[in-house]
Amino acid sequence: MTRQRRRPRTRQRQHFTPVPWPRNPVRRFSPEYFYFHFTNCPDHGGRNGCYLCYQVERTQTGLPLDKVKRTQTDLPLDVSTGVFENEFYPKEPKHTEICFLNWFKTQPAFLAQNLSREEKYHVTWFMSWSPCFQCARQVVEFLKDHEYVQLSIFVARLYYSSRPQYQQGLRSLQGAGAQVAIMTPDDFAYCRKVFVDDPDKPFRYWKGIYINSCSLSKTLKDFLRYQGN
């Protein structure tokens, strides 16, 4: 008697619903997200989202940026550092930079009246992608309207680096007084410690991290030096 083969059951494919980020900002995010989205490799496959790790400090004005006195002791822990992701379903899509600015302007701890005349807020962003030109334009307007804020932007990769409008967006940020630079291996290690779960675990250096950082840094410097005709 011939034994009949059973036809394998086919699972009914359920409708996929995008899972939103739990909230913006979060204090830390997972090592898996960090290593995937912040790896500065030439292959960008699947890295469509953007993550922004921020740090806010009070600084004394009138001193070089590398010598200013900084303190976070007067800022609540949940606002002095954190991580933003692009907002998406079910909310209106927004890039991480705009999410941060909208949030920052609503925080009582960051209102100008909380500062003395000698103080400013120094905001540092560590971003998986550099800002697009539309976001750069809005960040420039924010810096013009909030002179008590200094901004430093360190990016893992350059977004659409071959397109002139994106290059001009980075130049406009520098022209507005923002520091724009490529993340170094030390920057990645710092982010692993401050913004990622299990901070006591050592940072895992990936293949090409030094070469990619140097190459991207040279490209960015060429953009920022270019003045056009």
Whether 97 is catalytic is: yes
> What does residue 50 show for φ and ψ, rounded to 5 degrees?
-130, 135
**Residue listed under structure tokens 């009949």:** 4
Among 57, 92, 97, 119, the active-site one is 97
Other Cβ atoms within 10 Å of 108 Cβ, number: 9
Instruction: Report, as residue numbers or ranges, the catalytic residues.
Output: 97
